Amino acid sequence: MNPRRVLAITRRLLSQFRRDRRTLALFFVVPIVVLSLLYFLVRGSGQHPAVGVINQDSGPLGGAIATQLLKSDRVRASEMTEERADAGLHDGSLAAYIVLPADFSSRALQGHVIAPEVHLEGSQPGPSGTVLQALSQSLAAAASSASAPGVASVRLEPKISYLYGGPDFDTLDYFGAAFIGLFVFFLVFIITSVAFLRERSQGTLERLMASPLRRGEIVLGYMIGFGVLALLQAAEVLVFSLYVLKVHNSGNVFLIFLVEALMAIAAVNLGIFLSTFARSEFEAVQFIPLVIVPQVLLSGIIFPVSSEPQWLQYVSNVLPLTFAVNGMRDIMVRGQDLTAAALQLNVGVIFGFCGLVILLGATTLRRRLA
Amino acid sequence: MQEFAIDVQGVTKSFGRIKALDQVSLRVGTGEIYGLIGPNGSGKTTLIRMLIGLVAPDTGTVTVLGQRMPDVGILSSIGYMTQAAALYPDLSVLENVRFFAAINDAEQGVDDALKLVELYERRGSPVATLSGGMRTRCSLACALVHGPKLLLLDEPTVGIDPQLRRQLWDAFARLAGQGTTIVVSSHVMDEAERTQRLGLILFGRLVAEGTATELKRKAGTDNLEEAFLRLAREVAA
């Protein structure tokens, strides 16, 4: 082994790397950005599940528990009417509300059973668990305080109801809906960027430009081709998720396909558009950390957008994938159809994004009259 | 039928500070084989790309088959073969030719094109498995599958052995005999002899034009390569 020859290779690699500004930036900037995002998502989440507390108890116990709930640092609890709480649960501003019924104290003292009604939104397993933890903590705190004598020996038997999902609803049900949508977007984006880049680098795009083909025909051809592939993949993923992994779905399968088709169209055109900015397949692969990773972190797939710090929520709310993820959850978790305003908004935004990237993709394909 | 297949008048084109074409005017008659010769980087490719409308001139006009370029409508009458064999390597020869036929609405020409370039027997082979020469022929088949009236060939014989080069030129001659106008760029002098007229491009300017014999006489030599070098030296001086 000749160390000079080895060093020649090492030195050549480093020189190449130094010339490649973009890879250099990517290499040193991306880890910091991704780690910072994770920091804000995991540690910076100032927001705790919002919980409504409705105390109808005539006795002292309800008040004691309500006071403890309002003081709890696990949830953001506030007192409200049952009507408002129910509306809050439907529009997503509340993760749960807890009703302490009129006979709460007397039943606790006579029957030794504490039975608050817990109404959970249920689409996210995380907050549901937090709410139940906060409730039992509040009960323990109330029991140890002097205001409710004789409570220490009672059982907690909350009556839990779910707006969406149910007690069997787990993390996979919550993630599954989003991931089904993510696969289409991610994979179609990658194969389109690479396919289109190849078209450029092998010179066939020049040939297409010198043929009677029009820009719209090229874009539409690509859209249909990869769209068909995407829907086949969607069908496979959906069958596997629903029937093999038994992921929860309360919505219409055709609506899922509609959202996936829109995402595929968006991904194809985003791929065509961004392939203009890459000179090699190597550079195209670099779009993964730039385009995909931040969207995966910020679109609410893993970390709910509502638990992000406020300034990050602004970022999340302009990312198209956020709306796609919400749309998929509206359908699969919440069982919404196109009459629901939330789903209309989400589908509408994805639709608009499709329009935008089609325009961008077609524009960059302009006959390069330089 | 218009008298000239190509009519270029006073065309100038700059890329940044580099003048790729400088006041170029040339006319190519219908059915003529016109050779563009000149060293690498002299502007041949820019001129050819301009003829197909991929590059717009800064000044001057380009008229092809009676249409001011760029014009998308006329493109189905033009065949264009790029310098590198621009093909889809994972597709077979037949699939490649058929694709370029389909985007020109000319699927009926596939078999003839394959036979013309003598690839009919190999039509099932993926392009990635072909030799360089076969790829070039396949690329040529893709350029002429729709029976264009004008064929633009950008250095079609680069990297091709002499025997195959002769075969290709025989094919060009046959096509020209059927009325196809051919513009071919090259820096190989022995094939320049087979064109009907030559244009010598240097530093973006068309410095000499005529038949191979005329150019040789002008330079006072009977060797085209020597003529080329002498004419180039005159320009540089």
Provide the 3-class DSSP secondary structure of residue A44. Answer: coil
Residue B98: is its pLDDT beyond 90? yes
Query: Which of A191, A199, A205, A207 best probes binding to B when mutated, by most B CB atoms within 10 angstroms?
Result: A207
Q: Please report which confidence band the pLDDT of residue B126 belongs to, taking 50, 70 and 90 as the band edges.
A: very high
Show the tokens assigned to A193: 């960027």
Cα(B157)–Cα(B184) distance, rounded to whole angstroms? 10
User: A213 and B103 in contact by Cβ < 8 A?
Assistant: yes
- Residue B214 to chain A, least CA–CA distance (Å): 34
- Residue A172 to chain B, least CA–CA distance (Å): 39
Q: What is the pLDDT of residue B97?
A: 94
- Predicted confidence (pLDDT) per residue in A64-107, tens digit: 888 888 888 788 888 888 888 888 888 778 888 888 888 877 77
User: A214 and B82 in contact by Cβ < 8 A?
Assistant: no
ipTM of the complex: 0.86
- Predicted confidence (pLDDT) per residue in A190-202, tens digit: 888 888 888 888 8
| A110-124, A320-334, B115-129: the lowest-pLDDT one | A110-124
Collect all residues of chain A within an 8 Å Cβ-Cβ radius of residue B151.
none
- Predicted confidence (pLDDT) per residue in B147-188, tens digit: 899 999 988 877 677 888 888 888 888 888 888 999 998 877
User: A367 and B70 in contact by Cβ < 8 A?
Assistant: yes
More confident residue, A265 or B85: A265
Q: What is the pLDDT of residue B1?
A: 46
Interface of A with B in 225-244 (CB under 8 A): none
Interface of A with B in 166-205 (CB under 8 A): 202-204
**So where are chain A's domains?**
50-162, 171-364
The conformational region for residue A218 under phi > 0 = left, psi -120 to 50 = alpha, else beta, is alpha
How many domains does the structure of chain B reveal?
1
Give whole-number Cα distances, A137 to A71, A153, A154, in Å: 11, 15, 14
User: In degrees to the nearest 10, what's the CA dihedral of A286, A287, A292, A295?
Assistant: 120
Q: What is the pLDDT of residue A146?
A: 54
Collect all residues of chain B within an 8 Å Cβ-Cβ radius of residue A206.
54, 82, 86
Mean pLDDT of A130-159: 73
Residue A291: is its pLDDT beyond 90? no
Question: Does B103 contact A at CB distance below 8 Å?
Answer: yes
Mean pLDDT of A12-27: 84
- Predicted confidence (pLDDT) per residue in A333-355, tens digit: 888 888 888 888 989 999 999 99
- Residue B213 to chain A, least CA–CA distance (Å): 34
Q: What is the pLDDT of residue A238?
A: 87
User: A207 and B142 in contact by Cβ < 8 A?
Assistant: yes
Q: What is the pLDDT of residue B2?
A: 55
| Chain B residue closest in CA terms to A202 | B86
Collect all residues of chain A within an 8 Å Cβ-Cβ radius of residue B83.
203
Q: Please report which confidence band the pLDDT of residue A118 belongs to, taking 50, 70 and 90 as the band edges.
A: confident
Q: What is the pLDDT of residue A368?
A: 43
Q: What is the pLDDT of residue A65?
A: 82
Q: Domain containing B168 — which CATH number?
A: 3.40.50.300
- Residue B207 to chain A, least CA–CA distance (Å): 25
User: B82 and A206 in contact by Cβ < 8 A?
Assistant: yes
Residue A46: is its pLDDT beyond 60? no
Highest mean pLDDT among A137-141, A152-156, A279-283, B71-75: B71-75
Q: Which of A203, A213, A370 sits opposite B55 (nearest CB)?
A: A370
Mean pLDDT of A112-116: 77
**Among residues of chain A, what percentage have pLDDT more than 90?**
6
Q: Which of A204, A210, A212 sits opposite B54 (nearest CB)?
A: A210
Residue B104: is its pLDDT beyond 60? yes
Phi, psi of A154 (to 5 degrees): -90, 160
- Predicted confidence (pLDDT) per residue in B26-63, tens digit: 999 888 999 998 888 888 888 999 999 888 889 999 99
Report the CATH superfamily, name and number, of domain A50-162.
abc type-2 transporter like domain (3.40.1710.10)
User: A206 and B54 in contact by Cβ < 8 A?
Assistant: yes
